[in-house]
């Protein structure tokens, strides 16, 4: 875990272990009559909330907004889709309006897509005031981002790797963060993973010790719990629930199947979405390669889908997300880049085509559905190699997954020849693309000769 001192965090003084006053209800969005004005939110922000359809604050907003306005560090743990972004954005914007300077707030997030989404939400909530923002992420031109930082925007939303790179390339950019009042770690449990340790240390060195630090996450991991004890100053801890939980209205099921026919089951499921009343589905894979191969397979089967993974150029990633969110396609194929925090409304089904290695990643994946009080369905494909992973998930979420009866083996396997043929064609296309990338034009012929259909099943 990242050292709190190395990352520039203040040492702990006090940590409030209690949930917010007014114990959180099972439904995080339950309306108890509290208004945003009751929480101390300014009138102009209340009007903005109303214009955006935010009639009442959610549980996490009721718990965290007063503490942030009171100047306390906050760690908020609540389900995905519970309104965590507004819980920190509203008080930041309110205090910024009173004393506008840049950089007033730095928001760190683990993925590029989430950074753009957070910036959009800040702009929507801040539509009643004049403020500037900058999104600093990989995959885009560095000089333009350096110029944006040099202009000292009020709010910077960044991924740690790109921000660290810019600060290292131009030491003068760090001066813009000398007075930063807020540091926000969104999806904090992921950011506090060891893989971000160097980035957080470098960024923390540019920030003042006297600031408010806000940590928000859907899951409370050991690293996050440890940080609570050593790195937050006069911290208020809001928990909408204890431990790791999935939504109550989520139907969690698994189907046990041989590994070699997973694609056959997936094709049968996706081709029958409309008959099952499923309007949108996210299919999670473990690797970028699996995601791309499934995309090619579904193209061969004429199943419309968008693919989202970290090996894509940034513009293609955003375009895929937009196609899915707009309803242009009903299926999104994704790696865990899409499992965290992204605001994708009304996802009916999450499919774990490949189970994640960590139970926390399972919680984040299935958190894409059954949001904001809606029902949802999560279906995990379990092969003979995945039994231990399922037991690990069940131990963490506190209940067993139910065996699904939605996919009848006899009906599924009627399509085996068609899907295997499409799978071979998809593998051939992938090999041709790979050879073209490495050898230039015409390399696909070489790949075609090397492939043996028997190896593709």
C-alpha angle 367-109-326 in degrees, rounded to nearest 5: 55
Dihedrals phi, psi of 149, to nearest 5 degrees: -70, -40
Question: pLDDT truncated to tens, each residue of the chain (457 aa)?
Answer: 444 444 454 333 333 433 333 333 334 444 568 999 999 999 999 999 999 889 999 989 999 999 999 999 998 887 767 789 999 999 999 999 999 998 999 999 998 988 998 999 999 999 989 999 999 999 889 999 999 999 999 999 999 999 999 999 999 999 999 999 999 999 888 888 778 888 998 999 999 989 999 999 877 665 655 565 446 777 898 887 544 566 678 899 999 999 999 999 999 999 999 999 999 999 999 999 999 999 999 999 999 999 998 888 878 888 998 899 999 999 999 998 777 766 777 899 999 999 999 888 898 899 888 776 778 999 999 999 999 999 999 988 889 999 999 999 999 999 999 999 999 999 999 988 876 555 554 444 333 333 333 333 3
Angle between helices 43-51 and 112-125 (to 10 degrees): 120
Q: CA 242, CA 99: separation in Å to the nearest integer?
A: 37
Instruction: Say whether 145 sits in a helix, a strand or coil.
Output: helix
What distance, in Å, lies between the first and last C-alpha atoms of the chain?
41
The two three-digit tokens of residue 311, written as one number: 């090996």
What secondary structure does DSSP assign to 171-228, as a single string? Answer: GGGGGGGTT--EEEEETHHHHTSGGGHHHHHHHHHHS-SSSEEEEEESS--HHHHHHH
Asked if 157 contacts 193 with a C-beta cutoff of 8 angstroms, the reply is no
Asked if 19 contacts 8 with a C-beta cutoff of 8 angstroms, the reply is no
Q: How are strands ordered across the β-sheet holding 306-308?
A: 306-308, 331-334, 281-284, 349-352, 376-382, 250-256, 402-403
376 strand-pairing partners? 250
Instruction: Say whether 36 sits in a helix, a strand or coil.
Output: coil
The full set of domains in the chain, from first to last, is 15-239 (3.40.50.300), 250-414 (3.40.50.300)
Chain-centroid distance, C-alpha 346: 15
Q: Alpha carbon of 418 to those of 52, 343, 413, 415: distances in Å?
A: 47, 35, 10, 5
Asked if 201 contacts 7 with a C-beta cutoff of 8 angstroms, the reply is yes
Does the pTM surpass 0.85? The reply is: no
Instruction: Say whether 150 sits in a helix, a strand or coil.
Output: helix
Of 289, 281, 253, whose CA–CA distance to 380 is shortest? Answer: 253
The two three-digit tokens of residue 167, written as one number: 């600060």
Angle between helices 142-150 and 160-169 (to 10 degrees): 80
Element of type H or E holding 134: strand 133-136
Of 361, 354, 371, 366, whose CA–CA distance to 27 is shortest? Answer: 371
Asked if 365 contacts 356 with a C-beta cutoff of 8 angstroms, the reply is yes
Cβ partners under 8 Å of residue 294, min gap 6: 263, 266, 283, 285, 305, 307, 333, 353
């Amino acid at each position: 875990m990242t050292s709190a001192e190395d990352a520039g965090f203040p040492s702990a003084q006090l940590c409030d272990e209690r949930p917010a006053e007014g114990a959180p209800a099972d439904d995080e969005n339950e309306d108890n009559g509290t208004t945003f004005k009751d929480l101390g939110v300014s009138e102009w922000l209340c009007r903005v909330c109303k214009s955006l359809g935010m009639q009442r604050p959610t549980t996490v907003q009721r718990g965290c907004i007063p503490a942030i306005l009171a100047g306390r560090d906050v760690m908020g743990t609540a389900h995905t889709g519970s309104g965590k972004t507004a819980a920190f954005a509203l008080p930041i914007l309110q205090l910024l309006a009173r004393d506008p300077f840049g950089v007033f707030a730095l928001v760190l997030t683990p993925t590029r897509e989430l950074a753009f989404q957070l910036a959009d939400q800040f702009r929507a909530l801040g539509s009643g005031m004049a403020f500037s923002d900058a999104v600093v992420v990989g995959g885009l031109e560095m000089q333009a981002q350096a110029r944006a930082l040099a202009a000292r925007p009020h709010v910077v939303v960044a991924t740690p790797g790109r921000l660290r790179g810019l600060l290292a390339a131009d030491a003068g950019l760090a001066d813009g963060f000398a007075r930063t009042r807020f540091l926000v770690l969104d999806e904090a449990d992921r950011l506090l993973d060891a893989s971000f340790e160097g980035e957080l240390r470098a960024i923390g060195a540019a920030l003042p010790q006297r600031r408010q630090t806000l940590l928000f996450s859907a899951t409370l991991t050991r690293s996050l719990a440890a940080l609570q004890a050593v790195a937050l100053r006069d911290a208020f801890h809001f928990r909408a629930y204890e431990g790791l939980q999935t939504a109550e209205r989520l139907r969690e099921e698994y189907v046990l199947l041989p590994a070699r026919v997973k694609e056959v089951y997936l094709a049968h499921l996706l081709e029958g979405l409309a008959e099952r009343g499923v309007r949108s589905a996210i299919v999670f894979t473990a690797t970028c390669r699996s995601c791309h191969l499934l995309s090619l397979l579904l193209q061969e089967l004429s199943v419309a889908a968008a693919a989202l993974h970290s090996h894509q150029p940034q513009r293609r990633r955003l375009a895929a997300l937009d196609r899915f969110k707009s309803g242009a396609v009903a299926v999104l194929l994704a790696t865990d880049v899409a499992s965290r925090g992204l605001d994708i409304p009304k996802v009916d089904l999450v499919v774990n085509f490949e189970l994640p290695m960590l139970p926390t990643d399972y919680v984040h994946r299935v958190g894409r559905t059954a949001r904001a009080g809606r029902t949802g369905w999560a279906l995990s494909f379990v092969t003979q190699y995945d039994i231990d992973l399922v037991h690990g998930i069940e131990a963490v979420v506190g209940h067993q997954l139910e065996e699904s009866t939605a996919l009848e083996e006899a009906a599924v396997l009627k399509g085996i020849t068609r899907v295997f043929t499409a799978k071979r064609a998809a593998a051939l296309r992938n090999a041709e693309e790979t050879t073209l990338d490495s050898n230039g034009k015409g390399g696909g012929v070489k790949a075609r000769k090397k492939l043996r259909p028997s190896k593709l099943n």
